[in-house]
Amino acid sequence: MTEEKHDRRSSVRNTVPLPLVVKGRESSDEFWKEETEIINVSRLGANFNLQRECPAGRIVSLMLKMPKHLRCYDLDKKLYRVWGLVQHCAPVSTEDAASFQIGVAFVGKNAPKSYVENPMKSYRVSGMDSDGFWNLGEAKTPFITRAHHRFAASIDARIAALGPDGEEELIDDEAKTENVGAGGAAVFSSLELNSGDRVKFSCAKPAFTSICVVRNRQISQGEGAILHLEFAEPNFPTRDIGSSSENDEEILEVVEPDNAGEPTTGEDSQDLDLGDSEE
């Protein structure tokens, strides 16, 4: 296996449920806090469900008992605090009540100064820093919600670049999705393609094949290249993701600083029952 292909799989998501406290701000003096569980987490981000909606582009803070091999700092502390940028927020139905699946990208130990000044400001991902966190850029326009919700899911896939006559020219049999929705997917792939190129995307679980257009190719440190694909027909069976994916969803990480500018309950958080065992 090539080094690049190894790197794409090196950020395997932890799918063991972990208690999580999420905090957000609605104004300079109004904040909310909700306790939930991690669905999955990696060094780059996390997925979880909340009862409240969190708009994409908003920053939230997280506190959890992160496994040490997924941490970028605070290896000797019981709890890991991190800031995350909301990448997607999709309504889901559970046995208990309606909620929202949130996907966040970890952006570092400290929030940007502009967040302290205006916690309602929207941000976007703008590359990666040398520490492996996503860089933030202020969004100049409101975040546009996708026509089809994306779900963080690590699914084995096959990508084949198509020639002028539709013949398969370059093939990556070890591609893996980062996220997927009815209308498209973000896929880790070794293929060096350009925007506008046509490819054939296929996966076995769930069974799906589609001709796609490459909308963007992004290089991310430690994860290899990501192809952003648009399906010719928006009919990927998202309802089958949970039951067919053995690896479950891939996610992005989130980090909360000690000087978050919001009320905290101390390092060991007496109002969060994280148990007595260490990672």
Taking the chain (279 residues) in consecutive chunks of 10 residues, what is each chunk's mean pLDDT? 40 72 86 91 87 89 92 92 88 72 88 84 75 72 63 87 91 90 90 93 93 86 78 84 44 31 35 38
Fold adopted by 155-244:
Thrombin, subunit H (2.40.10)
* pLDDT, position 254: 28
* pLDDT, position 160: 95
Q: In the structure encoding, which two tokens stand for residue 60, read together?
A: 């939230």
Q: Which CATH class is domain 10-138?
A: mainly beta
* pLDDT, position 262: 36
Say how far apart CA 218 and CA 44 lie, in whole Å: 15
* pLDDT, position 10: 41
What residues form DSSP beta bridges with 128? 134
Stretch(es) of the chain classified as CATH 2.40.10.220: 10-138, 155-244
Residues 6+ apart with CB under 8 A from 216: 195, 227, 228
Q: What is the DSSP string of the chain?
A: --HHHHHHHTTPPB-S--EEEEEEESSSS-EEEEEEEEEEE-SSEEEEEESS---TT-EEEEEE---GGG-SS-TTSSSEEEEEEEEEEEEEE-SS-EEEEEEEEEEESS--HHHHH-TT--EEEEEE-TTSPEEEEE-SSPPPPPSS-EEE---EEEEEEE-TTS-EEEEEEEEEEEEEETTEEEEE------TT-EEEEEETTTTEEEEEEEEEEEEETTTEEEEEEEESS----GGGHHHH-SS-------B--TT-SS---TTTTTTS---S---
pTM above 0.75, yes or no: no
